[in-house]
Copies of this chain bind each other. A is one copy, B any other.
Amino acid sequence: MALKPTLPKGTRDILPQAMLEREYILDTVKGVFKKFGFLPIETPAMENASTLTGKYGEEGDRLIFKIMPRGEKAKQSADRIKAKEALRYDLTVPFARFVVQNQNELGFPFKRFQIQPVWRAETPQRGRYREFYQCDADAVGSDSLLLELDFISIYQEVFQKLGLSVKIKINNRKLLAGFAEVFGIEDRLTDFTICLDKLDKIGEDGVAKEMLEKGFDLKAIDGFKQIASISGTNSETLESLKEILATSEIGRKGIEEVSFVLKNVSNDCPLILDLTLARGLDYYTGAIFEVVTDEIQMGSIGGGGRYDDLTSIFGLKNVSGIGISFGLDRIQLVIQELSRFPKFANQSTQILFFNFGDEVALESLKWVNALRAQGIKADIYPDSSKFKKQINYASNRGVAYIALIENMPEGESNRLLIRNMETRKEENLSLEELVAKLK
């Protein structure tokens, strides 16, 4: 007996309904990316192992899938454990490699989007896979704040088109660096932001306690309390910041950048200045973004920011960049749970001709060919199976109309009896009438 087929841990098949949902999301995202001047690229799944290792920290290195050595050399045990290739772990490091390697072919500023799977050997959980898509857009080669505005507009437009109400949180690394400077904790910026990030979850007292445990002094904790007490609109937050950061040059620069962005986004943009937002701080140098939906509990469904030094790991210095990503799996889950996917009826067969034997099938074929020539998704059930089986097939596939050729009176071969699968109403139509109905 053959073995029951299975898949590796943390991987999955994607069936047609889920594929159509993902296509709907990605087509929306791609359309907006292109409207904003971003063009697609792809990089190979396999990179040189040396390109990837050392870029994601120790823990990241352990989670990289490596390719097993092949050939004669691999049989010697010393070479057996040294992989030459590995599967990409994200799209960012391969993109940095891509920009450096293809710099003479690309015009700068270079704006690209990239939608491809990545692989991570993490412990699988509900909604967390070992193979999943990332969907990134980045612009490199310019430090213009106009790009910050563009990425915010992209988020706003995509989620508007997907019918999701979201908040776009924004922060700036320079503000955080300013706090560290003013509070005298420049050398502990990362620790500090990790604490700050917990304000929502454990409250002001919780964070203060944790800071104390971590050995922050009272000046730093007082500073944190100043930040935590800020409330009100984005403008009011900015006013408070001007006081707190008055003595920090980098802090003032951060205020300037954030002010520019807040002033120039569209009036209806759901942008919130969130001073606790950090997201992989070591990486970002300016703006930091995160998108959350307030309609459902789901964590972040997008994020990004500005980085100034991405390509220097591959030898190209002083190339500022900024990028965002969309969390495809989570966005799909949110729209599913809110039942906001459109009907994909137009993606499926619009009219299915039932098959009652060869003669009817060949007569149907003429109709089907004529309808397909008009761009209509017409099909014949391939076998002359029982009526019940054919109707179940039509129903499961979400077919809109079925055509019942054998029910036609003789001498009426230029007209067709169709049934609306939803209303069960039957109609007798000419080809022209049918085309008009289905288009």
Query: Which A positions have Cβ atoms within 8 angstroms of B?
Result: 1-8, 11-16, 19-20, 23, 34-37, 39-48, 50-51, 62, 65-68, 70, 77, 80-81, 83-85, 87, 97-98, 100-102, 105-107, 109, 112, 117, 119, 121, 130-131, 139, 142-144, 146-147, 149, 153, 157, 264, 266, 312-315, 347-349, 355, 361-362, 365, 369, 372, 375-377, 379-380, 382-383, 392-393, 396-397
Report whether B107 and A393 are in contact in the complex, using a CB–CB cutoff of 8 Å.
yes
| Nearest B residue to A49, CB-CB | B8
Report whether B377 and A34 are in contact in the complex, using a CB–CB cutoff of 8 Å.
yes
| Nearest B residue to A82, CB-CB | B68
The 9 closest A-B pairs by CB, nearest first: A2-B315, A144-B382, A11-B44, A16-B39, A37-B379, A142-B382, A19-B40, A66-B68, A14-B42
Report whether A67 and B68 are in contact in the complex, using a CB–CB cutoff of 8 Å.
yes
| Nearest B residue to A7, CB-CB | B44
| Nearest B residue to A147, CB-CB | B382
A101→B6 CA distance, assembly (Å): 7
Report whether A369 and B266 are in contact in the complex, using a CB–CB cutoff of 8 Å.
yes
Given A66-B67, A314-B2, A361-B146, A102 contacting B15 (CB threshold 8 A):
yes
A219→B395 CA distance, assembly (Å): 56
- Candidate in A6, A14, A41, A382 with the most chain B CB atoms within 10 angstroms: A382
Report whether B365 and A264 are in contact in the complex, using a CB–CB cutoff of 8 Å.
yes
Report whether A45 and B119 are in contact in the complex, using a CB–CB cutoff of 8 Å.
yes
Q: How far is the CB of A382 from chain B (nearest CB, A)?
A: 4
A419→B383 CA distance, assembly (Å): 60
Given A264-B365, A312-B2, A41 contacting B70 (CB threshold 8 A):
no
